[in-house]
Structure 1
Amino acid sequence: MQALLVVNPKATTTSERGRDVLVRALSTEVDLTVRYTRRRGHAVALAREAAEQGIDLVVALGGDGTVNETVNGLMTAAPPTVDPAQPPAARLPALAVVPGGSTNVFARALGLPKGWAEGTSMILEGLRLGRYRTIGLGLADDRYFTFCAGFGLDAEVIRRVEGARRRGRVSTPGLYMRSILNRYFLASDRRHPAMTLERPGEEDVTELATAIIQNTAPWTYLGDRPVNPNPDASFDLGLDVLALGRLRVPTTALTMAQFITRDAGPHGKHVLRLHDLAEFTLVSERPQAFQLDGDYLGEREKVRFTAVTDALRVIC
């Protein structure tokens, strides 16, 4: 089996020595090539090139951003001598993920351990046993995502956190909580919701202030605590949405608490929850912050979301 290991050398929880151990371990099971990312977006090009060369397996070592880029490279590739009528999972290389970031939501949603060493052991066992699962992905306009997207407040929070990390701050639950409070009170237009959710054959839902889209659960983690706006979201189904109307202080505080404490997810008159959607569009009267898989992508006024079934085979 030929495999490519895509390594983010800035992955926060690995070292050069650890990466060497990983390479030696993987090399006992596959014919391994190692490539290091040099810039943002590089993993997209590396994964796409590998798929188009007929590689059997692509392994991503890094956080959720590295995984997202790798997935987008695979999903936009045109592998040689493969029937294009087959679903992507049948014609693309398999994917394996070695958790190397600070949160690793995608890897943990697959049931992989938090640490890269334990995750590597599980992947090696999966390779020996031929153990994998087929998952669906989300598609936002022309970019794929593995576990979540956000339009509005949560993307504003990620924008602020990314700025803090560029200034040398460490990503911690405390940093996220402070960023939530800052963006809620200073950045969001809480009293004038500008979003509309459109679905084929359904009445539009208007006056929404922010939206979270999930392809699996949980949405994210605060340390070891899962955060679950849409606990029924699954890699095996369509997309789930949680959207909020006017962001009044009491109701927003209650909803945030329910993210963590309520197994069935948030509820209330101001909460819109939709399950297992094949497609929908979010439109805003003014630009909104936008994120995919925890990566801030700028501002948008309109995003079309689609569920992509049978997208990838993942070793786990």
Structure 2
Amino acid sequence: MRALLVVNPAATTTSARTRDVLIHALASEMKLEAVTTEYRGHARDLARRAAESGEIEMVVALGGDGTVNEVVNGLLHHGPDPGRLPHLAVVPGGSTNVFARALGLPNDAVEATGAILDALCENRDRTVGLGLAGGTPGSVDEAVPERWFTFCAGFGFDAGVIGRVEQQRERGRRSTHALYIRQAMRQFLGESHRRHGTITLERPGQEPVRDLSLSIVCNTAPWTYLGNRPVYASPAASFDTALDVLALSHLSTAAVARYATQLLTSSPERGPHGRHALSLHDMTDFALHSKVPLPFQLDGDHLGLRSSVTFTGVRRALRVIV
């Protein structure tokens, strides 16, 4: 087997020595080319070239969810074709690693590498569904390129939190769960539209849902992790279905406290619920529009402000070694 290993040298939980061990382990079982990323978008470019070459059978992403997202977008640059495209394998090296953990892989890079090698020996893989987000025709965001995501997207509040965290990391702060909690509090206190939402959700053949204050799109469950604790925004979300949505229409102090508590105590059987919560399951096509530009994120990567985003849930988009 010919494989490409895409290594993010800034991965927060793997040292240079650990990466060398992983490369040696993988190279002992396959013809491996290891490339270290050098700039934002490099992992996408490497994966695209691997897919276009027709010679690479597997692309391994060693890094966090951002690295995985870039690799996926490179592999799917010309669209999904699970029978032709290289397999994807993921070695978690970030601070959260939602996609890898949702696949059932260990959160330790060495153990995950062992699990991948076992899966290769046993010819185990899985074809997963993914989400695709893009600009809305006729809107100011129409020219925004479409982008794939593996586990979640956010339009509004949670994307604003991620944007704040990225600003702190650019100033040298470490990515910790405490940092996310502090920035979530600051985002809430500075949120000007929490009582009167600006988001409208539109679905084909359905009446629009207006005045939403928060919207989270999930491709799998859990939505994220706090340490080793899984957090379920949409417990029914799955790689085997299309997309799920959790939206809130009211972000008063009492409502936020209630829904935050529900998130922290969520389970595979029950997520946030109540008269201000909207939960939708297995959505193939829909759009989110806002009266004012709002922060937007995919797979934990802040992508700036948007006024309108379309979403497509694509079943059986990519083969993954698990």
TM-score when normalising by structure 2? 0.94
Q: What residue ranges of structure 1 are gaps of 5+ in the alignment?
A: 79-86
1:127 aligns with 2:100: no
Q: CA deviation at 1:45?
A: 0.4
Contact 1:146 1:293 in 2 (8 A): yes
* Distance (Å, rounded) in 1 between the aligned partners of 2:240 and 2:150: 12
Partner of 2:24: 24
Contact 1:51 1:77 in 2 (8 A): no
What are the within-5 Å matches in structure 2 for residues 103-122 of structure 1? 103-122=96-115
SS at match of 1:118: helix
1:135-154 alignment runs, 5 A limit: 135-141=128-134, 142-154=146-158
- Partners in 2 of 1:91 and 1:13 — Cα distance? 32
Q: Deviations over 1:278-313 (max 9, x none)?
A: 110000000010000000000000000000111111
Which residue pairs with 1:36 in the alignment? 36
User: Which residue type is aligned with residue 76 of structure 1?
Assistant: H
Task: For 1:202-241, list aligned pairs within 5 A.
Answer: 202-241=206-245
**Equivalent residue letter for 2:74:** G
TM-score normalised by structure 1 residue count? 0.96
Partner deviation per Cα, 1:10-58 (whole Å, 9 max, x = no partner): 1111111111111111112111011111111111100000111111000
Cα deviation code 1:200-255 (max 9, x no counterpart): 00010000011000000011111111111101100000100000112111111101
Q: Say how many residue pairs are matched.
A: 308
5+ residue gaps in structure 2?
135-145
Residues 11 and 100, structure 1, Cα contact 8 Å, conserved in 2: yes
Q: How big is the shift at 1:262?
A: 3.3
* Counterpart Cα distance in 1 of 2:193 and 2:207: 25
Shift of residue 190 of structure 1? 1.2
1:290 and 2:291 aligned: no
Q: Quick one: distance in 2 between partners of 1:247 and 1:200?
A: 27
Whether the 8 Å contact between 2:198 and 2:290 is mirrored in structure 1 is yes
Q: Kindly tell me: are residues 208 and 164 of structure 1, through their superposed partners in 2, closer, same or farther at Cα, counting changes over 3 Å?
A: same
Kindly state the Cα deviation for residue 88 of structure 1 after the two structures are TM-superposed.
1.7
Large movers: runs of 4+ above 3 Å: none
| Aligned mates of 2:23, 2:176 — CA distance in 1 | 29
In the alignment, which residue of structure 2 is the partner of 1:90? 83
Which residue identity is paired with 1:286? Answer: V
1:266 partner letter: P
Q: CA RMSD in A?
A: 1.0
Q: Deviations over 1:141-183 (max 9, x none)?
A: 1100000000000000000111111111111111111111100
| Cα distance, 1:77 vs structure 2 | 4.0
Amino acid at match of 1:35: V
2:131 alignment partner AA: G
1:102 is aligned, of 89, 95, 99, to 95
- 1:275 is aligned, of 268, 277, 281, to 281
**CA distance in structure 1 between the aligned counterparts of 2:192 and 2:229, rounded to whole angstroms:** 26
- The answer to whether the Cα contact below 8 Å between 2:231 and 2:266 also exists between their aligned partners in 1 is no
Aligned equivalent of 2:315:
309
Deviation at 1:188, TM superposition (A): 4.1
